[in-house]
Structure 1
Amino acid sequence: MSDTLLSKIKAREAHVAVIGLGYVGLPLAITVARAGFAAIGFDIDPQKIVAIEAGRSYIEAVPDEVLSAETRQGRFRATTDFARLADCDIIVICVPTPLTKHRDPDLSFITRTCDRIAETLKPGQLIVLESTTYPGTTDEVVRPILERTGLKSAQDFFLGFSPEREDPGNRDFHTSSIPKVVAGDGEAASALVMAFYGAVVQTVVPVSSPATAEAVKLTENIFRAVNIALVNELKVVYEAMGIDIWEVIGAAKTKPFGYMPFYPGPGLGGHCIPIDPFYLTWKSREYELPTRFIELAGEINSAMPRHVVGRLAEALDIHLGKALSRSRVLVIGLAYKKNVPDIRESPSLKLIELIEERGGSAAYHDPHVAEIPKTREYMALKGRKSVPLDEESIRRFDAVLIATDHDAVDYAALARFAPLIVDTRNAFSRRNIEGGTILKA
C-alpha cells in the first residue's frame, strides 16, 4: 500500500490537501502546487476561499501573481468542503495551536481537524501534522482519533510530523528553501514523509520519531525565548547603571566566536516564541520535572510591556511634567515584527491596553496594518485605524512610543516634531537620527 503512494509521489500524481490556509498553510500549499502536485486548500473561513478564488493573497509571502498563476492553471484550489478530503492522497494539517487563558495547550483546532479527517479517512492516505505542539501529540492525540475509524496507523494509513518553520518578513528564505525536519510513525510512513517533502523542498532532515520532530520545533523557539529574556533582563539592569544595552550588544557581537547577538524589545510577539515554550512546560508536569529556566524566561518577557509603560510614564513626568493619565501617546508599529502585517500576540496591543488602563490615550501608526482586526484578547481595540504620520498628527501627541521598527516609517519627521520619543528598538541610533528628546526603553 505504501509502495503505491510512493510511486504517486515520485510521479507527482498524488493529490495533496493542506488544512488551514494561514501564514503556514497557504505558502505550503502554493509551494506544493509549484512542485507539480495537485494541491487543494481547506479552511473554515469562507472569506479566505473567496480571496483565493479572486487571486487576492492575504499572506505577504504569497504574491497575488503567484497565487493567480497556480489557481488559473488548476494546480491549486481552495474550499470549505471537507468531504473533498476523500479525494486526497496526502493531508497536511496546518492549524493554530494557541494557549488557553491559563497557559495550557489548546489542541481544539487539531482535534476538530482530525475528527474531520476521520470522517473520510481511507486506506493508503498519508496524514502529516505541521502545527507546533508538545512532544507526543502525534502519537497520543492525532493517532487515536484517526484509529477510531478502525484503520490502523502504519498498517492502513500513514502518519507523520514535520514542524513548520515559516518566518514572516524574512526575504532570504522561502518555504522551499528552509530545511524541513520530518518523521513518520514507522518505516513506511517515514519513507513517505521523506519522499513527499523531498519533492517539495530543497533539504529534508529526517529524525527518528514524531516526538523527536515535535521537540525540535520547541527547542528552536525556546532557545530564542530564553536568550531574548536574558537580554531583556540585562537591559533593565544596565538601564539602572546608565549603560546602553544596544551599545553593549553591538560591541559584544564583534567577538568572532562564542557569542550570538539577541536583542531586547517591548515584549514577545508572533505565534511561536510567546506560546511554544509553555507547551513543553505543560507536558513536563506529566513527568514531574520542573522547567524553571523556561518559565522564568516567560515571566521576564511577559513583564516587558509593563516595564516599557513604566519607563514611558517616568519620561513624561521628568521631561514634560505630565502624568501618563493626562497624556496622548502614539504607538509606532502594531505588528509584532518589522515590515510585516502580522499582529499575532503583538506586544503593541498590550502596550495600548496598559497605557489606557493608566488613564492615558493611545493611538497607533503602522504602514502595514490599516485597522485593528478582531482578536481574542483585545476585543475593545477592534476597528481602530492607523493614524497618518505627518507634522500635524505627530504634534497632537505628547509622546511617541516605538514598539515596532518598520522601515517604512519617517523617523526623521518623528525626531523633528515629537516632544518625546521612547524607543524600544534602537531605531533612531541605528539610523543616526538625533533631535528632540529620544530615550531608550
Structure 2
Amino acid sequence: MADRSPHFETLLGRIETRSARAGIIGLGYVGLPLAITVARAGFPVTGFDIDPAKIVSLDAGRSYIDAVSDDALAAERDAGRFGATTDFAELAACDIVVICVPTPLTKHRDPDLSFVEATSRAIAARLRPGQLIVLESTTYPGTTDDIVKTILEKTGLKSGAEFFLGFSPEREDPGNRDYHTATIPKVVAGDGADALALMQAFYGAAVKTVVPVSSNATAEAVKLTENIFRSVNIALVNELKTVYAAMGIDVWEVIDAAKTKPFGYMPFYPGPGLGGHCIPIDPFYLTWKSREYELPTRFIELAGEINSAMPRYVVGKLAEALDIRSGKALSRSRVLVVGLAYKKNVGDIRESPSLRLIEVIEERAGRADYHDPFVPEIPSTREYQALKGRKSVTLTEETVKACDAVLIATDHDDVDYAAIARWSPLIIDTRNVFARWGLSADHIIKA
C-alpha cells in the first residue's frame, strides 16, 4: 500500500481526539440536528447560515427545529462546543465542512443545484490542505464527484491528496420519536480510501451505526432509492384508493387486513398528496440524470403523476359531496382545511399538499381557511406566495359551523376530532382519522 498523505494522518488524529472543528453549512431541518449531534460527541462545531434571523435565534438559545430542544442547544452552546455565524470566512478554521443546503427542483422538475454550487464556491475560497468536505444534500449520482470536486479542485488542491471529499445522505424524519440523528444508521462514502476512512471515523464518533459504501455515487443512489421506493408505493395505494372507492370498497380496511400477512407485504397509506422535501422531489433527480443515459424512468414518472393528482381528486370529492348533501356548489362554499403541515405532529410545511388543496379550492372560487396547532401563520414559500401571512383559525364551534365543510388534510393528534364530527355538517377525511378514533357518521366522507 502506498504511503498515506500526512494530511490524512493529521486529520484522522484530530478526529480521534475530538479536536477537529466541524463546520455545518445550512442550519435547517438537517444541519442543526447534525450540528448538535456532532457537538454532543465532543467536537467543536461552528454552524453557518445565510439567514441572520437563525443566528440571532440560536445565539439567544432558541431552537426553531423540533428535533433540537432549547435545552439541548443551550447545553452545547454553554459548553463552548457550538456557535453559529453568517461569516463564511470562519470556514478556514474548520477541519471538516459539511454541506446541508437545499436541493429543490425548478418549475420544469430539473435539479436546482445553485445552493450546492454557491456553497462549494464559498468553501473553495477558504479551502486549505487537510480538510474533509462532505455533501449531505440529496442529489443525483455523480454530483459530489462531478460538481463539488470540480469546483474545489479549481483551487489547485487535489482531492485525496491535499483535501478529502465524501458524501453521506441525510436521513432526518421530522416528528419521529423513535429515531434521531445519532441513532439513524449513517451511510458514508468517500472519494478514495483515505476519504472513506475519514468519513467512517468522523461519523462513527457521532452516530451509533455507520454503513460504508464503495463510492460517492453509490451513496447518492442510496438516498434516491429510499425515497423512490416510498413514492412508488404511496402512488400505488393512492391509485388503489380511487379504484376501490368507485367499487364501494374502503382502501384503509383493505390495507389493515392485508398487513396481517406476516411476510411479503408492507403497508403504505394513501393521502391527499405528497409532502416534505424528500419524496415529492428526490425521485426526479434520478429521472433527470437518467436522460443522460437515454433510459426511461416510467415507474418514477407515473408515481409522480398519480401523487401530484391527489389534491385535485380530493377537491373533486369535496365538490361532489357538497353538491349531493347540501345542493351547494364549491364556488359558494367555505371550507376549513385541518392540518397545513405535510405530516402529523410537526410544523414542517415543505411541499405540503395542504397548500395545493387550498390553492385548488380557491381556483374553483371557494373560500378556504385553515387550522393547524403547529403552523400559526403561513410563511414565505417558493410556490405559494399568495398564501403568505394567512393565519390559523382557532378551532371552535363557531369557526367550524361557519364553514360548509371540513377537510382533514393532516391528522395531528392535538385536534378534537369528536368536536369536529359534532359541529361540521360535512367532513372530507383524507387520513382515515375518524375511523381510527372510532368515529363514524354519514356526513364523514373518506377521500
Give me the whole-angstrom Cα distance separating, in 1, the residues matched to 2:159 and 2:218: 18
Instruction: Give the match for residue 331 of structure 1.
Output: 337
Is 2:397 aligned against 1:391? Answer: yes
3-state SS in 2 of match to 1:116: helix
Letter in 1 for 2:414: A
Alignment of 1:130-149 (within 5 A): 130-149=136-155
Specify which of 73, 76, 81 is matched with residue 75 of structure 1: 81
Alignment of 1:201-350 (within 5 A): 201-350=207-356
Give me the whole-angstrom Cα distance separating, in 2, the residues matched to 1:434 and 1:76: 51
Tell me the CA shift for residue 320 of structure 1.
Answer: 1.0
Letter in 2 for 1:327: S
3-state SS in 1 of match to 2:84: strand
Is 2:112 aligned against 1:106? Answer: yes
Give me the whole-angstrom Cα distance separating, in 1, the residues matched to 2:102 and 2:30: 10
Letter in 2 for 1:191: A
Instruction: Give the match for residue 157 of structure 1.
Output: 163
Is 2:420 aligned against 1:433? Answer: no
Give me the whole-angstrom Cα distance separating, in 2, the residues matched to 1:14 and 1:188: 16
3-state SS in 1 of match to 2:336: strand
Give me the whole-angstrom Cα distance separating, in 2, the residues matched to 1:80 and 1:386: 32
Letter in 2 for 1:315: A
Give me the whole-angstrom Cα distance separating, in 1, the residues matched to 2:59 and 2:16: 29
Asked whether the equivalents of residues 336 and 342 of structure 1 are also in contact (C-alpha less than 8 Å), the reply is yes
Specify which of 161, 167, 170 is matched with residue 176 of structure 2: 170
Is 2:45 aligned against 1:39? Answer: yes
Give me the whole-angstrom Cα distance separating, in 2, the residues matched to 1:139 and 1:121: 16
3-state SS in 1 of match to 2:270: coil
Give me the whole-angstrom Cα distance separating, in 1, the residues matched to 2:441 and 2:261: 32
Give me the whole-angstrom Cα distance separating, in 2, the residues matched to 1:156 and 1:187: 14
Letter in 2 for 1:211: A
Give me the whole-angstrom Cα distance separating, in 1, the residues matched to 2:386 and 2:196: 47
Is 2:22 aligned against 1:16? Answer: yes
Residues 148-187 of structure 1 deviation map (CA, whole Å, 9 limit, x = unaligned): 0000100110000000000000000010000000000001
Tell me the CA shift for residue 69 of structure 1.
Answer: 1.3
Specify which of 390, 394, 410 is matched with residue 416 of structure 2: 410
Tell me the CA shift for residue 73 of structure 1.
Answer: 1.5
Give me the whole-angstrom Cα distance separating, in 1, the residues matched to 2:102 and 2:181: 18
Is 2:101 aligned against 1:91? Answer: no
Tell me the CA shift for residue 128 of structure 1.
Answer: 0.4
Tell me the CA shift for residue 434 of structure 1.
Answer: 2.9
Letter in 1 for 2:403: F
Residues 309-343 of structure 1 deviation map (CA, whole Å, 9 limit, x = unaligned): 00000000001110000000000000000000000
Asked whether the equivalents of residues 416 and 435 of structure 1 are also in contact (C-alpha less than 8 Å), the reply is no
Asked whether the equivalents of residues 184 and 209 of structure 1 are also in contact (C-alpha less than 8 Å), the reply is yes
Alignment of 1:119-138 (within 5 A): 119-138=125-144
Task: Report the TM-score, using the length of structure 2 for normalisation.
Answer: 0.98
Tell me the CA shift for residue 239 of structure 1.
Answer: 0.6
Asked whether the equivalents of residues 419 and 436 of structure 1 are also in contact (C-alpha less than 8 Å), the reply is no
Letter in 2 for 1:118: A
Tell me the CA shift for residue 102 of structure 1.
Answer: 0.4
Give me the whole-angstrom Cα distance separating, in 2, the residues matched to 1:92 and 1:240: 50
Specify which of 197, 215, 218 is matched with residue 203 of structure 2: 197
Residues 415-437 of structure 1 deviation map (CA, whole Å, 9 limit, x = unaligned): 00000000000000001013460
Instruction: Give the match for residue 122 of structure 2.
Output: 116
Asked whether the equivalents of residues 415 and 436 of structure 1 are also in contact (C-alpha less than 8 Å), the reply is no
3-state SS in 1 of match to 2:14: helix
Give me the whole-angstrom Cα distance separating, in 1, the residues matched to 2:357 and 2:269: 19
Tell me the CA shift for residue 72 of structure 1.
Answer: 1.4
Give me the whole-angstrom Cα distance separating, in 2, the residues matched to 1:124 and 1:417: 65
Q: Percent identity?
A: 77
Is 2:378 aligned against 1:372? Answer: yes
Instruction: Give the match for residue 362 of structure 1.
Output: 368
Give me the whole-angstrom Cα distance separating, in 2, the residues matched to 1:435 and 1:80: 54
Residues 170-215 of structure 1 deviation map (CA, whole Å, 9 limit, x = unaligned): 0000100000000000010000000000000000000000000000
Moved beyond 6 Å, runs of 4+: none
Letter in 2 for 1:105: P
Letter in 2 for 1:280: L
Letter in 2 for 1:167: D
Give me the whole-angstrom Cα distance separating, in 1, the residues matched to 2:309 and 2:132: 43
Residues 87-112 of structure 1 deviation map (CA, whole Å, 9 limit, x = unaligned): 00000000000000000000000000
Letter in 1 for 2:308: S
Give me the whole-angstrom Cα distance separating, in 2, the residues matched to 1:202 and 1:231: 34
Give me the whole-angstrom Cα distance separating, in 2, the residues matched to 1:20 and 1:71: 17
Structure 2 unaligned regions, length at least 5: 1-6
Specify which of 56, 60, 66 is matched with residue 54 of structure 1: 60
CA-based RMSD: 0.5
